[in-house]
Structure 1
Amino acid sequence: MINVILFATILVPIVLALVQLLKITFPLHKNYIPLIALLIGIIIGAAAYPFSELEIVTRLWAGGFAGLASTGLFELGNYRSGLTKASDK
């Protein structure tokens, strides 16, 4: 468990930066941002194979934790409407 937490701590800033990049670039519904962060965390955790000696399941768990930690787990249940980027319409 300590390995998962340590690895997730390393991944959180990376996931946070990628999610922020997506929020600035594309108009996304605010309700989907935690889900997107979770998926990005899992993908980054799996892609970290050459940099870690952890098993794939451990890296996936750490990536998932990093994704949820980057947006805040409590925000999954919040209702928000609108987009992250104002449309030009």
Structure 2
Amino acid sequence: MEEILLLSSVLAPVVLALVELVKRTINLKKNFIPMVSLVIGLLIGAAAYPFTDFDLAMRLWSGGLAGMAGTGLFELFKKNEGYTKQKDKRI
């Protein structure tokens, strides 16, 4: 299990960069971005064959985790401006 997490942590920045590239080149609705991130993660995980001796299922798990983490990583560092859903500005 540690190997899967290690590979997914290595793949997550790559997936993040590719998702950002797709977002900037193709006009997508925001609802589809996590699904695109998951698919890209799975594809990158499957393509990681020369870099690891894992079987396909373990590489797909790593890629899927990297895809989900890539979306979360982007949302973590994204600058959110504006107000919360509350209409009252008092704290």
Tell me whether the two structures share a fold, i.e. TM-score over 0.5: yes
Letter paired with 1:8: S
Deviations 1:52-72 (A, max 9, x none): 111111000000000000112
Aligned to 2:65: 65
Q: What is the CA-CA distance between 1:13 and the residue it aligns to? A: 0.5
Aligned to 1:8: 8
Aligned to 1:18: 18
Give aligned pairs, total.
Answer: 74
Identity %: 54
Aligned to 1:86: none
1:69 partner SS: helix
Give 4+ residue runs of structure 1 displaced > 4 Å after superposition. none
Q: Over the residues paired in the alignment, what is the CA RMSD in angstroms?
A: 1.4
Deviations 1:10-55 (A, max 9, x none): 0001000000001111110100000000000000000110111111
Residues in 2 aligned to 1:23 and 1:69: alpha-carbon distance in whole angstroms: 16
Aligned to 1:55: 55
1:72 partner SS: helix
- TM normalised by structure 2 equals 0.78
Residues in 2 aligned to 1:53 and 1:38: alpha-carbon distance in whole angstroms: 22
Q: Which has the higher contact order (CA 8 A, sep 6+)?
A: 1
Alignment gaps of 5+ in structure 2 = 76-91
Aligned to 1:39: 39
- TM normalised by structure 1 equals 0.79
Alignment gaps of 5+ in structure 1 = 76-89
Over alpha carbons, which structure has the higher Rg?
A: 2
2:65 partner SS: helix
